[in-house]
Chain A
Amino acid sequence: MSHEAALHAHESHGHDDHGHHEHHDTFLTKYVFSQDHKMIAKQFLITGMVWAVLGGLMSVLFRLQLGYPEASFPWLESILGKWAKGGQITPEAYYALVTTHGTVLVFFVLTAGLSGTFANFLIPLQIGARDMASPFMNMLSYWFFFAASIVMLSSMFVETGPFSGGWTAYPPLSALGDASPGSKTGMDLWIIAMALFVVSSLLGGLNYIATILNMRTKGMSMTRLPLTIWALFFTAVLGVLSFPVLLSGFILLIFDRNFGTSFYLSDIYVNGVGALSNEGGSAILFQHLFWFLGHPEVYIILLPAMGMVSEIMSVNSRKPIFGYMAMLGSLFAIAVLAFLVWAHHMFVTGLNPFLGSVFVLLTLLIAVPSAIKVFNWLTTLWRGNIRFTPAMLFAIGFVSLFISGGLTGIWLGNAALDIHLHDSYFVIAHFHIVMGVASMFGMFAGVYHWFPKMYGRYLNNSLGYMHFWVTLAGAYLIFWPMHYEGLAGMPRRYYDFSIWESFKQFAELNRFISTVAMIVFAVQILFLLNFFYSIFKGRKVTTLNPWQANTLEWTTPINPGHGNWPGEIPEVHRWPYDYGKDGVDFTPQTTPVGEHESSH
């Protein structure tokens, strides 16, 4: 069946896209409105990187306020104007920065930038297909993301400022322009941007699922897929099932904001305006709709990183990934449980205690498949022959961060503790380590590992090592102490702690954290320089298979054209993890099974 699909794909490409590429490719069709999955992947990656820099810069700015609440920086005023009167960021600007940082990093960088890039790049290459099931839809997916980016960017330049009510956009704050200036035009643009984003991720996700299910090359059964592909598959399923719920939540919010409905509004008196006429709505309803996406979203961000880490670890340990089926099963378990734990973000909303207890149970259950993954990664390293490429270092860093951040999830998932730690810096530390930085590490690992395939050149190794060690140490220096702040009750999303007897004791620590954050940000700029420099001037790749890996992408030419393989698509005879089998360092998937070969 997959053989036929592959043949069919080959034929159809021969008629349009593939042939098209060889004859008359203009700049516009090759670099802008490209339908080549590899080019679309690069578009996602570079757009994601632009957002990562902007989002990172925002965090540096608000860390400046947290670290130096009394200081004045005249240059800030010259950049930000009225948002930094007297050289100090205003509360309005602070909250806008925090909100935009969250939205951008979660959605634009770690969703579009991560799975947009690697699902596009790796799915056809690793399953042996010439392109996605629908290259046109794939192109649309990027351009919807681009449109979302433009709208989000423009929201930062409106008179009343961008949305400033937190990335979770809880109504009534997000519904009432009178309650916060950021909830005026800025919020309208925020919702439009997010709606476009949802469309983009749906177009992408449907395509990924269709491609993985239908377009595998001959011999590529589902259990011969690399774990990257499995992870990207579950990611796409999660996205397709949960993003529409978010969109529906946003649509109701638009109705409440603009058409006078009361889905989320009830019994509200706004200072300076008076009592509103809305009655009977529930602000908590939005939280349910939001977190029904919001929690799977965490795994939409994490799973691709897990998949890539599994692949990179196996390749660089020269050893099969330990427990392929267990890895697969735990991915599946995580994907299912992801839909059943959303209310653990809502333990303090007055949730029915019995319902709360069910969510505690299901939440802590996720720790089991997560633990399996960690132990399997550790066993993969055990008695391997490890090559420390920058990609491998970032993969190891990912596991370290995933352990650290995952364990604090056990604290927060227990409702009786959450009732104390909720919305404190403990939460900030937890999710930045486990979801933010860990996934970022997965993304870096992916970029370092597949850069040679993307551009036919290597990234600079020395810069890669430097990038890794500073970022790993920096991530821990920034977020580890935040656990202590959280254990002292310090709430998140505070502009200034100086009036609080209980929290001002951390002023010095905050300054330290801010300083480290700036250094870590600077090192990311170094990575960017490395990236763009190496695209044009990096050391050229001279062998087809620089990492000596088994997967199919390394059987393509060094600079594959549209269609990926110049001739026939190779046939697959084995799973992708035959490293060190029978004393042979590596056996690519395309190698037929020998007569006397042992089975794994």
Chain B
Amino acid sequence: MSLYLSIAIIVLIFVVIFQIAKASEYVSILKGEEASRKQNNKINGFLMVVFLVLGFVGVYVCNEMLFSKTFLAREASSVQGEKVDQMLWITLIITGIVFIITQFLLFWFAYKYQENENRKVYFFAHSTKLELIWTAIPAITLTVLVVFGLRNWFYFTGDAPKEAMVVEVTGKQFGWIFRYPGKDAVFGKKYYKNIDPATNSVGIVWEDTYAQDDILTEQTMYVVKGKPVKLIIGSRDVVHDVGLTHFRLKMDAVPGIPTTMWFTPKFTTKEMREKTGNPNFTYEISCDQMCGNGHYSMKGVVEVVDQEEYDMWLAKQKPQYYTAFPDKDPEAAKAAATVAKDSTAKAATAKM
């Protein structure tokens, strides 16, 4: 009912506006074309200045309300992010100056040069000097931005330091899988046809001996504060994107084509909770490439901890190999051994 009512009200408003507009058209015909054009010029010329002033006030108000929510107001959580922020500021200042000058001139000229029967227009068709000036200035400014940008770009996309820890990230509809290389620091081979959602979510080739100590976790990735981490990124199904917004970086996850990205976290999750005053703060991994109907819920977490805590966490992790083959697990075997010695042996031979 309320729907019909609101539709009726909207229609009514439309009709009223339309009738007023029609009436004003008749009035302008009565007044004569010249007179009504003059009036329209005056009103719209005035509105140009109003828009200019209100526009700048609006930009200021918007900034007051929203700036503190953006990252420009907060320190980046990675060494790379600091450089991104620095570049954001430089670009903001340069484009900001151009924005203010050009918008001011546009609306001011529109106001100042509104039609006036006493003014003779200045026939000004071209000026090579002026045109050269406003070709050269943007060209020089942009060169500065390009040089700055490319230095950072090559730093971001360059090789990770040798001491970096390595984590493999795999996107799937709709979640994240992380693989750690284990004690040998080498990832075992993988092949997508080996994927088994229950025990082998990334398709590890178990025959590869490097694979047998690989650790798999889902949704939460642990990394160490101050230690560079290199991500080897892939996808199981469609294109995803590892969006690390607090670290100011992102990289696509493409099936069949591994990509990489590295960064150095600066603050632990705990430190960030104190810094932001938000006890629920987490470093969220957002999927930033449309990946299907669950795209918006594809959330992961980066847990930044110090080395000690990381070592404790790692010690608790069991290689995925033992989840896939519980009978190979030395601990499980020990436990089983006390119950029934031969059944373990039998199962093991059967599996092999």
Chain A: residues with CB nearer than 8 A to chain B? 75, 91-92, 95, 164-166, 168, 170-173, 176, 179-182, 265-271, 275, 279-284, 317-320, 322-326, 348-350, 353, 356-357, 360-361, 364-365, 367-368, 371-372, 374-379, 381-388, 393, 396, 399-400, 403-404, 407-408, 410-411, 414-417, 419-420, 422-424, 460-463, 465-466, 469, 472-473, 476-477, 480-481, 484, 487-489, 491, 493-497, 499-503, 505-506, 509, 522, 525-526, 529-530, 533, 539, 577, 579-583, 600
Contact = CB atoms under 8 A, between A and B. Distances in A.
A495 B105 CA distance: 40
A580 B249 contact: no
A383 B122 contact: yes
A506 to B, nearest CB: 7
Contact of B257 (A282, A506, A579): A282
A479 to B, nearest CB: 11
A376 B289 CA distance: 39
B241 A416 contact: no
B325 interface: no
Given A172-B239, A269-B192, A419-B249, A529 B296 contact: no
Interface string B122-152: 1111110011001100110010011011101
Interface stretch (B61-69, B211-219, B222-230, B333-341): B61-69
Given A271-B197, A365-B142, A388-B40, 12 more contacts: A92-B293, A318-B115, A326-B126, A350-B257, A353-B158, A388-B110, A403-B98, A461-B25, A461-B40, A499-B297, A525-B14, A533-B18
A414 B87 contact: yes
CB-based closest 3 A-B pairs: A489-B245, A266-B256, A350-B259
Given A269-B192, A465-B40, A417 B126 contact: no
Nearest to B118: A385
B103 interface: yes
A372 B142 CA distance: 14
B110 A460 contact: no
A484 B278 contact: no
B21 A579 contact: no
B246 A489 contact: yes
A511 B215 CA distance: 43
Contact of B134 (A375, A381, A582, A600): A375
Interface string B54-73: 01001100100011011110
A172 B134 CA distance: 45
Given A393-B44, A420-B250, A583-B120, A386 B115 contact: yes
Determine the interface band of chain B, counting residues with CB < 8 A from chain A.
35 or more
A172 B254 CA distance: 9
Contacts of A393: 44
B317 interface: no
A579 B123 CA distance: 7
B274 to A, nearest CB: 15
A75 to B, nearest CB: 5
Given A275-B192, A379-B124, A416-B156, A367 B138 contact: yes
A585 B337 CA distance: 104
Nearest to A354: B154
Contact of A319 (B18, B123, B173, B192): B123
Contacts of B125: 320, 322-324, 577, 600
A323 B45 CA distance: 25
Contacts of A423: 241, 243, 250, 288-289
Given A165-B290, A176-B238, A424-B288, A378 B102 contact: yes
A216 B156 CA distance: 54
Contact of A488 (B69, B124, B297): B69
Given A384-B121, A460-B21, A462-B24, A172 B255 contact: yes
A364 B293 CA distance: 35
B37 interface: yes
B126 A491 contact: no
Interface stretch (B161-169, B180-188, B279-287, B305-313): B279-287
B107 interface: yes
A438 B18 CA distance: 26
B237 A179 contact: yes
Contact of A410 (B119, B124, B142, B157): B142
Nearest to B3: A75
Contacts of A529: 14, 18
Contacts of B293: 91-92, 95, 164, 180-182
Contacts of A582: 123
Nearest to B72: A487
Given A320-B123, A320-B124, A360-B149, A173 B291 contact: yes
B47, B122, B150: residue with the most chain A Cβ atoms closer than 10 Å:
B150
B116 interface: yes
Given A400-B106, A407-B95, A372 B157 contact: no
B3 to A, nearest CB: 5
A310 to B, nearest CB: 13
A379 B102 CA distance: 11
A423 B105 CA distance: 32
A266 B103 CA distance: 49
A497 B295 CA distance: 11
B44 A493 contact: no
Contacts of A465: 40, 43-44
A368 B138 contact: yes
A322 B25 contact: no
B123 A408 contact: no
A498 to B, nearest CB: 10
Given A350-B260, A460-B22, A325 B126 contact: yes
A100 to B, nearest CB: 14
Contacts of B69: 484, 488, 505-506
B10 A522 contact: yes
B138 A417 contact: no
B86 to A, nearest CB: 10
A189 B17 CA distance: 41
A577 to B, nearest CB: 7
B88 A317 contact: no
Contacts of B88: 411, 417, 420, 487
Given A165-B292, A170-B239, A283-B255, A416 B106 contact: no
B250 A419 contact: yes
A235 to B, nearest CB: 23
Contacts of A385: 113, 115-116, 119, 121
Contacts of B114: 386, 388
A316 B268 CA distance: 61
B257 A283 contact: yes
A434 to B, nearest CB: 13
A580 B125 CA distance: 11
Nearest to B280: A501
B236 interface: yes
B106 A414 contact: no
A62 to B, nearest CB: 12
B84 interface: yes
A383 B113 contact: yes
B203 interface: yes
A456 to B, nearest CB: 16
Contacts of A404: 99, 103
B238 A172 contact: yes
B28 interface: yes
A265 B192 CA distance: 13
Interface in B20-61: 20-22, 24-25, 28-29, 37, 40-41, 43-45, 47-48, 51, 55, 58-59
A595 to B, nearest CB: 19
B216 to A, nearest CB: 15
A420 B59 CA distance: 23
26 contacts: A91-B296, A92-B293, A95-B295, A180-B293, A182-B293, A266-B256, A267-B192, A269-B236, A271-B237, A319-B121, A324-B125, A357-B150, A376-B131, A377-B106, A381-B109, A388-B110, A414-B146, A414-B153, A460-B25, A462-B25, A463-B21, A487-B72, A489-B286, A494-B296, A525-B14, A580-B123
